[in-house]
Each structure stands twice: as C-alpha cells, then as structure tokens.
Amino acid sequence: MSSFQTSPGTRDILPPHAGRWRALIQVFADGVESAGYQNIIPPLFEDLGVFQRLGDATDVVTKEMYDFMDKGGRHIALRPEHTASVCRAFAQHRPTPPWKVWYSGPNFRYERPQAGRFRQFDQVGIEVLGVDDSQLDVEVISLGWDFYQAIGLSNVSLVINSLGDAGDRGRYIEALGAYFTTHSETLSEQALATLERNPLRVLDSKRPQDASAIAGAPAIGAFLSTDAAAHFAAVCAGLDALNIPYVVNERLVRGLDYYQRTTFEFISGSLDSAQNAVGGGGRYDGLVEDLGGPATPGIGFALGVDRTLLACDAEECFSYGFPALDVFVIDTTGGSYALSITHQLRHSGFSADRAFEGRSMKSQMKSADRSGAQVAVIIGDTEAEESTCTVRNLSTSEQTTIPSTELQSHLVSVLGPRQPRRHTP
RNA sequence: GUGGGCGUAGCUCAGUUGGUUAGAGCGCUAGGUUGUGGUCCUAGAGGCCGGGGGUUCGAAUCCCCUCGUUCACCCCA
C-alpha cells in the first residue's frame, strides 16, 4: 500500500479509460459545434458569491461548497457547476446575444461519494444566453438527446416540466408548503426538515413514508401563468415535431433554485443505482441579472460524464480501444537503429513505438504484439551489416527483407500514404 | 451529516473451530527456441493480510479505535 492515495471522492482516470473519456467529449463537442456552440473555459474557482446565487436553500450552496480564503483575503470557492460561471462571464464581458457556448470540465461538491457520485466530477454542457424563444428550448433539449443517441445509449428517457415564471413558482411553493404542513403528521422527519427549507424539494423524497403525501400534492400545472403555459406547450409541440419522445412529470423539481419555466432531466434506465439522472437542465431567466448583468434569459444543460459512461458500460456501448500503432521497431543491435528509424517514421506521419533497455528479440516481439502495431520493422545483426531491414506483418506473420533506403516507400505501399503531422489553422 | 457491507500480491479472489514458512488464477519478468509475438510448458519476482491498540502461549482470523472503500438516506449530473 503506497503512502498516498487519491482523496475521497476523487480518482485517477487511467488508460485506457481516459482515452474513452476524451473520445466521449469529442463526440459531444462535434455535435454542439455543428449547431453553432463555441467552447468556453471559465476558471476553476471564483468568488464565492457567484455560486451563492444558486440558492440559499440548496445543499450545493449551504454545505457542499469547497471554499477557502485566499492569501488576498478573498472568499473563494471551487466551482460546483458551470452555469453560474457562464452567466458571470456574460455579465462581465457582455458578448452579443444570442451567446451559445459549450464546456467540459470538473466541478467540486463536498458530498459522500456513492455510485455515480464523486466530489470531483466532470460535466459537459451548453448554455445559451439572450434568447427567450421556446424553439431554443427545443434545440437545447434536442442537442442533449442527440448526444445520447450518438454514443449509442438507447435506454435514456427525457422527463420535462415547467416550473412557471418567478411569480408562478412562488405561488406554487406557497401552496405546496401549506399542503405539506397539513399533512405533516404523515411525513418523515427528514421531509419535515426539507419542508422548512424548500417545500419543492419534498417532492423529491424517495422515502416510502412520504409517497402518499407526495401523490396527493397539488401539481404545478394549475399554477402556470398564461405565458408560461403557452411557452411550455410550444416546447412540447416542438419536441413532438422532432419526434423526440418525452414524459411530462409535474413532480420534476430540480435542485438548484434558479430554474424557471422549462426544466428537464435525462434518466438512464440502465443504471440500478440511485444516481440515475445522467443529465439535466432548464431555463434560468433571472440568473444573469442576479449576477449584476442586464436582464437576460438563459437556458442550458449539464450532462454527467461519469454517469454517462457508467450507463454506457451497462448498455455495453461506446467501447474504446487505443488506436493501433502502424509500426513497432525492433532493434537487437543496441538500439541506435530503433532510435533513428522511429524518429524518421514519426516525422513521416506513421505512428511508431519501440522497446528500450536492449531486451531480447523475443521480448521485443512481445512488446510489438502488445502494442497492436500492424507491422514490425526488425533490425538484427544481419540487417545491420547488409543495410537492410526486415518488415514483418504481425497479423499474417509474413515477412520480407528490403534495403533500408526502401523502408518508407515499402511501408507506404503496405499501410497506405501518411501525412506529416503539423498544425493547420 | 446518518446508517449497513467490505479492506489479503498490480488485478480478481481463496485462506476451515485462532496453530507455526499466507495461497491460486490473471498480469509481469526470464527461460524452453544462440534472431521472431499471439498457443503451450517451466521458473522467478511481487505481501507490515489497510493502520494502531487489545485479548492469547500463538491473530489474516476474536475485540476496540481509526483510515479507506462501497451501498443507501440526503443531495444532484
């Protein structure tokens, strides 16, 4: 056992898992960039106040924040999510709306780790600021939906709801609070505590004891203003038009207080654990203003990378293998040929690796096999003397010896042409 | 923060009512093959039995504490 290990709720993403991880983000980026979203990279930490706008009644703010005083006396917090940072960035830089951005990166919440829940956890997501159109809600939801389809997840369901505008929401919370107070004798102790802080969240309780009270609770639908109801109906109609299946769940409340109007979650049916929400989002029309910017509507979603990959494991999709190398260079004469040949091949655009420490032919062949390389280029004493090299096809075991000067052209004929790698803007 | 399960080799796990030198498979290294991988055979390396304390002639095994991990509540992606 080594002296140090990762802190609770954090872990190393090792190969080959990290490769799969990167591939997942690439699929996401390709999808949203083709819809006009550009990448944003906000800082990992911000002034604590930025995140307090998530809501004083939320656990994320009250007890899960990684916060500290820096050497300049500022009260800093590691970001628990991206949305507040994106809104702060909008308020700070005032880009021209509509502002469509996507992000990926870690967030931090001090929670007890559990299946699909970590203290450092990654999300990918998008946010759009400055557009109030219900068709944008549909676009945002469809991009999330399309991403799950793109990676091959078939057992994901979309649940949507509307929390109404700020006034509706307030009236609903009031009614809900009154209702639960009259049923307080049937509620669990924990639910009563939740009721004190935010009656909405009581709807989220998974305790069997609370089920009957929740079942009889008033629904949000009756509290929606004409505008909010029309907006929600338009969103549903848009999803219908795109043939995206969804379920309206009037009990869907989300944990962050800034949500208004459209809210949605993506639930994986393939995850047994309690953490089966693989993504979620909604409108947060008041957040930019809260952060000192102009009144600006906003909508977005965040998808949990960890949970999404867990769902992929469960559905046995989005498999990943490290791309096979083109060439493995074997040199039993001391290594100087391997040094120069791999260097030249890499410059020509071939992927190439080699062994070190002067290992035996057998050992180097094993390494070549493990590397997944398609061909081995072998330099032994004979080849060194004759200025030749032996090229072995590792899947057919056929091999041929050619003059060293013909190696590049021979590999091109066997593996196809390669372009030197360089950055092209 | 509350409650349950589990900590033995790099990985997955055996280890009997406490008994003397802690095992297997996979993986790794080397050899079988004086230049050739994936199969096979042989050998080797690799362990403070999570850590600390206690009970005992004797502890991987029993007790306590602690740390880690895992599952659930809670919360949320």
Q: What residue segments make up the domains of chain A, in order of their start?
A: 17-165+225-315, 327-415
Which of A413, A367, A355, A361 has its CA nearest to residue A383?
Answer: A361
Q: Do strands A388-393 and A375-379 pair parallel, antiparallel, or not at all (unpaired)?
A: antiparallel
Q: What is the pLDDT of residue A425?
A: 65
A260-302 per-position pLDDT tens digit: 999 999 999 988 777 789 999 999 998 999 999 999 999 999 9
Task: Choose between A237 and A422: higher pLDDT.
Answer: A237
SS3 A137: helix
| CB-CB neighbours of A222 under 10 Å | 12
pLDDT reading at A2 higher than 80: no
CA gap A275, A342 in Å, rounded: 47
Q: What is the pLDDT of residue A191?
A: 85
- Residues A73-81 have a mean pLDDT of 94
Number of H helices, E strands in chain A: 16, 16
CATH superfamily of A17-165+225-315: Bira Bifunctional Protein; Domain 2 (3.30.930.10)
By C1' distance from the Cα of A193, the closest nucleotide is B74
CA of A69 to C1' of B13 (A): 47
By C1' distance from the Cα of A6, the closest nucleotide is B68
DSSP state of A255: S
Query: What percent of chain A is helix, strand and coil (3-state, nearest 5)?
Result: 40, 20, 40
Q: What is the pLDDT of residue A293?
A: 94
Q: Check whether the bond before A98 is cis (ω within 30° of 0).
A: yes
CA gap A371, A415 in Å, rounded: 16
| CB-CB neighbours of A255 under 10 Å | 17
Q: What is the pLDDT of residue A59?
A: 77
* Spatial contact of A362 and A369, defined as CB atoms under 8 Å apart: no
* Spatial contact of A41 and A103, defined as CB atoms under 8 Å apart: yes
By C1' distance from the Cα of A333, the closest nucleotide is B35
Q: Check whether the bond before A16 is cis (ω within 30° of 0).
A: yes
CA of A311 to C1' of B60 (A): 37
CA gap A138, A54 in Å, rounded: 24
| CB-CB neighbours of A65 under 10 Å | 20
**Range in A100-104, A154-158, A189-193, A339-343 with the lowest mean pLDDT:** A189-193
How many Cα atoms within 13 Å fall on the side-chain side of residue A169? 23
Query: Which residue has the least CA–C1' distance to nucleotide B33?
Result: A362
Task: Choose between A238 and A193: higher pLDDT.
Answer: A238
The CATH code belonging to domain A327-415 is 3.40.50.800
Q: Where are the alpha helices (DSSP H) in A94-207?
A: 134-150, 166-182, 189-197, 199-202
By C1' distance from the Cα of A379, the closest nucleotide is B35
- Residues A392-417 have a mean pLDDT of 95
Question: Given this chain, do its domains A17-165+225-315 and A327-415 carry the same CATH topology?
Answer: no
**Phi-psi region at A75: left, alpha or beta (left = phi > 0; alpha = psi -120 to 50):** beta
A223-250 per-position pLDDT tens digit: 999 999 999 999 999 999 999 999 999 9
Q: What is the pLDDT of residue A72?
A: 96
Q: What is the pLDDT of residue A69?
A: 92
CA gap A352, A325 in Å, rounded: 6
CA of A322 to C1' of B12 (A): 23
- Residues A92-98 have a mean pLDDT of 96
CA of A357 to C1' of B11 (A): 26
pLDDT reading at A1 higher than 60: no
CA of A303 to C1' of B67 (A): 33
Q: What is the pLDDT of residue A214?
A: 87
Percent of chain A scoring above 90 in pLDDT: 69
pLDDT reading at A60 higher than 90: no
Which of A356, A346, A344, A364 has its CA nearest to residue A405?
Answer: A344
By C1' distance from the Cα of A395, the closest nucleotide is B38
SS3 A372: coil
Q: Dihedral through CA A166, CA A302, CA A200, CA A134, nearest 10?
A: 40
A150-166 per-position pLDDT tens digit: 999 999 999 999 999 88
- Write phi, then psi, for A390 (nearest 5 degrees): -100, 130
- Protein-covered nucleotides of chain B (CB closer than 7 Å) are 1-3, 28-31, 33, 35-38, 48, 50-51, 68-77
Question: How many residues appear in chain A?
Answer: 425
CA of A1 to C1' of B48 (A): 10
**Range in A85-99, A209-223, A335-349 with the lowest mean pLDDT:** A209-223
What DSSP string describes A338-359? HHHHHHHHHHTT--EEE--TT-
CA gap A411, A419 in Å, rounded: 13
CA gap A151, A165 in Å, rounded: 34
- Residues A397-409 have a mean pLDDT of 95
CA of A274 to C1' of B50 (A): 28
By C1' distance from the Cα of A303, the closest nucleotide is B77
A183 DSSP β-pair partners: none
